[in-house]
Structure 1
Amino acid sequence: MYRLDPRYAPAPGAVLATGWQAAAAQLPPGPVTVAVDGPPTVDWDALAAGLTAELTARGSAVRALDLRAHHAPPTAVRHRTESPEDAADPYYAKLAENPLRDFFDDLPRPPRPTGREVVLVHGPGAALLPHDLLWYADLPKRHAEAAVAAGTGHNLGLPHRKGELRRLFYIDWPVLDRHRDTLAPRLDAWLDTQDPQRPTYIDGSGLRATLTSLARRPVRTRPYFNSTPWGGHWAQRRLGFDPTARNTALGYELIAPEAGVLIGTHPGLQAEIPFQLLCVLHPAAMLGPPVTARFGTSFPIRFDYLDTADGGNLSVHCHPKERYMKERFGWSYTQHETYYMTLGSPDTRVFLGLREDADLDLFRKEIEEAAQDGVPMDPEDHVMTFPAEQGRLFMIPAGTPHASGAGNVVLEISATPYLYSLRFYDWLRPDADGRPRPLPYEHGLANLESERRGDAVAHDLVQEPRTLRTGSGWREELLGALDEMFYEVRRHVFDAGAEADDDTADRFHVLNVVEGEGVLLTTAAGERHALSWAETLTVPAAVGPYRLAAIGEAPVKVVKALVRP
């Protein structure tokens, strides 16, 4: 059965507790300076009030220093973090390389505590000030995105300005992620503040011990779905996601920069920890030495769902090619994709690649007329379509125009730079607020792959499965591989009850059960992890040899992605 809340027990000896009273009990009565760092979307007022009340009740005097009051002026923050090229682009900004220190002019000096006194320095950047203890208060990124989209969230360094998603994605998150990652090895505690009145506390050494263990065993991240104008309802009906949501369009199975791992024993006692910390603290164990040599601590493959069941067509779009990605957006590798059809039929379709007779001048003209004057166009005049046969894999190298049609569920297996959908056409569809959806078609046209057309699209990008190896009641197939793409997609096919051995061989694997009840994964070290239909599991490189055993009385199919040698 699909798990909405997979969780893992903390390491022996870790301190895991809930509530401000429990958190305050971990602090000495004074004199001590405690820095609590974290992103701007944390409810810092509730944090300061909660800690102050509990510390005061324990007999400590508290002096609080809110670092949000000490940012540089807004004009200075924008000048330091946006280039003239960024300012002229309404869709994207180059990924910020600034240290968090750039968001301040002169940092304040906290008072020196005496006697039973606690100086509480809090807010983004608190770790930049002198301190005795360092805590990190976190709120998963989905909360920040939702708040900014709703008009209630603010950007880093701009606490009194309406938030912008563009700044959140391309400036705030890169800066905050790098800052958090440098703090992780020396944190004294972590606070999950999703419930601002009842946070979950885990001590720093216990957190690191838990992550050390998880980096060497199979681990599943917490899934969730976002709504968009094209979304369907498959995940609500089949997986149990929020039935009151507008739809379940985009399913975050494993998107490393936003994914979280739940550490705890039950829903009332759990902390959500960024998956990325596993890669930062244990890159060789998680990714494998050959992968870290190329990608550093960036986990380069993502698994997500695109749910258009009873929904609409996705926008026709492409993703940046490698040189454009590096020079314009500042990311070190490009966004190749594949579509695996979890749900599809001969009557639904996938848009993929240019027709042989595509007229690029006419394509541009129709795109501009649609964007500027609301003139509808038919993408099939320029882009090929294929039946969305269930179980079929479609290869989508960077620059290839593509979209999933209505009535499908796609398991999107792709490279991790997920914020660069260069839309050509979006069916004149408004966003949730009734406004036209953004169409960065100039970026799209600058990256359009125009050489691969017609028969070459069908031959190269719609590949037939090839058997790699077989055993008693099972086989492993190669579903798709291209020289220009750094990863490949395979599939294990099991008869009921069959078992097969595999080995990460120093390269992480990502698995998803696409048909059947599920599998039981057993590592050479004796770790066991069940994986049910539609679930995604990361098998760290350090796992090495492992065995997959089909569960249930029906055949099972498991898709696997890995970085190519």
Structure 2
Amino acid sequence: MPYDATPHYSPVDGSVGRGWAPAVATLPATLRTLAIDGPAVLDWDRVASELRSLLTSRLASDSEAPVTDQTTSAPPAWGRVELIDMREAALPWPEVQRLTRSPALADDPDFETLAGGTLAALLDRSRLPALPPEPGSLRIVFGPGAAAVAGQAGLSQDSSAGAGDPGRDDAAGPAGPGRDAAAGDELGRNSAAGVDEPGRDATAGPDGLGRDDAAGVDVDVLWWADLPKRFAEAEVVAGRGRNLMAPPGETATTKRLFYIDWPLLDRHRDEHAAYIDLWLDTQDPDRPTWLAGESLRATCRDLARRPHRTRPTFNSTTWGGQWARHQLGHHPGGSNTALGYELIAPESGVLVGGTDRVEVPFQLIVALSPAELLGPAVHRDFGTSFPIRFDYLDTVGGGNLSVHCHPQADYMREVFGWPYTQHETYYMMVGGERNRVFLGLREGADIEKFHEVAHRADTEAVPFEMTDFVQTFPATPHQLFLIPAGTPHGSGEGNVVLEVSATPYLYSLRFYDWLRKDRRGGQRPVHVGHAFRNLDPGRTGAAVAERLVPRPVVLGGGEELIGALPEMFFEVRRLTVEPGREHRQDTGGRFHVLTLVEGERVDISGHPLNYAETIAIPAAVGAYTITSSGGRARLVKAQVTP
């Protein structure tokens, strides 16, 4: 069976609608104030204009779709519609920058400390109206932060939203990702994107600003207009985007997008998820798809208890190859298929619906049902952060990856703000004895000389021979390489790597990138200072082969342990499923992630999985079975270790 690039699931207790007019028809006739929130990337002027146009008419006849069981009778014509643009309520931009910028990384062109705190802390509440709209008027509060300033008296929380609901004081335990607020930093630091911090009431910001005392703008209905993060990144890279709370004309940067905007927006969304009345997917801005809030939450609860896949995406970059394009038939319009995101919680989404679909952030599913999806012990240790990711690195017909490392644990926490670091593994889907994987230092490598030549390559574009300092190993298919934080590594050309790793994914500290050019013709950035501050000199010589290129350990029942280290919180196993035989697994209260790495297709308790596809098995699934519909099949499995 072919690789399915659009896996999708039916909504629970509802159906997916399409179009602005049918969405507006769901609003009650008594509506006084509508809040519509979402990310900064949306064309908010267009959204507000569309809603004002529709809400100033009775909608007695709907040219887009008839009234359905999801809609109310047409709302009355309001004499006046008042628009309140949340972007105009932002604090002055220098103050926003002061509150969100890390002094230690202020001059760093690429990295920033992950933002903590709340989006509401960046709003000047005095710039918002305190009184309800006049009789006969309708108020639309729109833009990022609309939910944060909405008084909740008019909103009803879905009481069935589950044990992990936003608004519940969900203590994650002493080992969980905590906030270590830096002195003088009112937003706080060391708070991972989407992480529900131990002992913290999710409704309150660091200044004690809770929902009920945020602003006093009474709201009848809350909508969430979403656009997946890949759109925001594309807009910023193209020079058209706008960072969160930035004034018009301010040049947007991926640095702020990745490390400031996304963490704040994710936490903001998750904290208000229990109050959303309508979820809108605006990938088609003219005819957005939508799902009622009750159905959204019911569907998320259902997905948190059953095997499911996220929507895969592939990005192109300078070293990218063609394997996924030719082998899987995916991303045929891209120049290459360098980076394949199978399951990366902060960016992945799940498609819900049939012909019409909404894309729901995977992180929202985790936030609404963390104990069911992660398992109680993992939830205790990681809050609402899904801690494992699966992605592809495709260099077939491309070039070498950069040689880089990832931050060691203390540096990741103290400088970059993530409570856990980026340990990785490489599983070779495609390779060969003549292909290479760069891994670990050579015996006796002169680190000072390495630093010197890497710095010269960065500043003077002088090439050097990487193998003078870093070892290489054959890229043998189905071999797993362990890559603890601080270990220099990179895939050579001609390979496909299934990267099974800790979730942090934006901290590749490059020693050398072969003097490649970026899309603007400049030399691609490297991070020599960060990289050498995190280089682990103990990953050297024969110890690299002994500890980081492991041989499988047979566990029995068709299962092997193929990679684990004491310093890594997860392990990687391989399952073999023989044709005609049922392979049994049990989550044991901890989620699994599986990829089919050999064979055409398997069935996982009724869910099909084709070659190269990845699936999440929530902890709540418990016992499940795997069967092969063809010949022998092999799957890679990752799980958090007890």
TM-score, normalised on structure 1?
Answer: 0.96
Question: What residue is the counterpart of 1:70 in the other structure?
Answer: 89
Matches within 5 A, 1:151-166: 151-160=239-248, 161-166=250-255
* 2:445 alignment partner, one of 345, 358, 363: 358
Write out per-residue CA displacement over residues 513-558 of structure 1, whole angstroms, 9 at most, x where no aligned residue: 0010121011xxxxx2011100000000000000000121x21111
Write out per-residue CA displacement over residues 163-183 of structure 1, whole angstroms, 9 at most, x where no aligned residue: 100000111111111111101
Distance 2:231 2:130 in 1: 30
Question: What residue is the counterpart of 1:122 in the other structure?
Answer: 142
How many equivalent residue pairs?
Answer: 552
SS across alignment from 1:152? coil
* 1:444 alignment partner, one of 531, 552, 556: 531
Question: What residue is the counterpart of 1:525 in the other structure?
Answer: none
Distance 1:281 1:134, change over 3 A: same
Question: What residue is the counterpart of 1:2 in the other structure?
Answer: 3
Distance 1:237 1:111, change over 3 A: farther
Distance 1:158 1:345 in 2: 49
Distance 2:412 2:401 in 1: 22
Q: Does 1:94 align with 2:113?
A: yes
Question: What residue is the counterpart of 2:609 in the other structure?
Answer: 531
Question: What residue is the counterpart of 2:99 in the other structure?
Answer: 80
SS across alignment from 1:126? coil
Give 1:116 deviation, angstroms.
5.2
Partner AA of 1:165 in structure 2: T
1:299 touches 1:416 (CA, 8 Å); kept in 2?
yes
Distance 2:466 2:96 in 1: 42
Distance 1:169 1:276 in 2: 15
Distance 1:371 1:114 in 2: 62
Q: Does 1:271 align with 2:358?
A: yes
Ranges in structure 1 where 5+ consecutive residues have no aligned partner = 523-527
Write out per-residue CA displacement over residues 46-91 of structure 1, whole angstroms, 9 at most, x where no aligned residue: 2112222222232432222111122222211111111322212222
Question: What residue is the counterpart of 1:491 in the other structure?
Answer: 574
Partner AA of 2:587 in structure 1: T
Question: What residue is the counterpart of 1:368 in the other structure?
Answer: 455
Distance 1:405 1:159 in 2: 43
Partner AA of 2:635 in structure 1: V
Q: Does 1:312 align with 2:395?
A: no
Distance 1:159 1:272, change over 3 A: farther
1:111 touches 1:119 (CA, 8 Å); kept in 2?
no
Where is the strand percentage greater, Structure 1 or Structure 2?
A: 1
Write out per-residue CA displacement over residues 353-393 of structure 1, whole angstroms, 9 at most, x where no aligned residue: 01112110110011011001100011111111001011110
Matches within 5 A, 1:151-550: 151-160=239-248, 161-266=250-355, 269-470=356-557, 475-522=558-605, 528-550=606-628
Distance 1:244 1:494 in 2: 35
Distance 2:418 2:333 in 1: 37
Identity %: 54
Partner AA of 1:146 in structure 2: A
TM-score, normalised on structure 2?
Answer: 0.84
Distance 1:95 1:146 in 2: 21
* 1:60 alignment partner, one of 65, 73, 77: 77
Give 1:15 deviation, angstroms.
4.2
| RMSD (Å), alpha carbons | 1.2
SS across alignment from 2:595? strand
Question: What residue is the counterpart of 2:35 in the other structure?
Answer: 35
SS across alignment from 2:272? helix
2:84 touches 2:139 (CA, 8 Å); kept in 1?
yes
Write out per-residue CA displacement over residues 399-424 of structure 1, whole angstroms, 9 at most, x where no aligned residue: 00000000101000000011100000
Question: What residue is the counterpart of 1:144 in the other structure?
Answer: 232
Give 1:45 deviation, angstroms.
1.8
Distance 1:96 1:69 in 2: 22
2:349 touches 2:360 (CA, 8 Å); kept in 1?
yes
Distance 1:242 1:2 in 2: 12
SS across alignment from 1:513? strand
1:29 touches 1:118 (CA, 8 Å); kept in 2?
no
Write out per-residue CA displacement over residues 152-205 of structure 1, whole angstroms, 9 at most, x where no aligned residue: 001001142111000001111111111111011111111111111111111111
Write out per-residue CA displacement over residues 233-280 of structure 1, whole angstroms, 9 at most, x where no aligned residue: 1111122222221211100100000010001012xx100000001111
1:30 touches 1:116 (CA, 8 Å); kept in 2?
no
1:30 touches 1:60 (CA, 8 Å); kept in 2?
no
SS across alignment from 1:467? strand
Partner AA of 2:45 in structure 1: D
1:32 touches 1:117 (CA, 8 Å); kept in 2?
yes
SS across alignment from 1:530? strand
Partner AA of 1:109 in structure 2: P
Question: What residue is the counterpart of 1:108 in the other structure?
Answer: 128
2:104 touches 2:415 (CA, 8 Å); kept in 1?
no
1:393 touches 1:463 (CA, 8 Å); kept in 2?
yes
Distance 1:515 1:359 in 2: 41
Write out per-residue CA displacement over residues 480-519 of structure 1, whole angstroms, 9 at most, x where no aligned residue: 1111111000011122333210000000000000010121
1:341 touches 1:408 (CA, 8 Å); kept in 2?
yes
Distance 2:331 2:570 in 1: 33
Distance 1:159 1:531 in 2: 46
SS across alignment from 2:473? strand
SS across alignment from 2:270? helix
Partner AA of 1:540 in structure 2: P
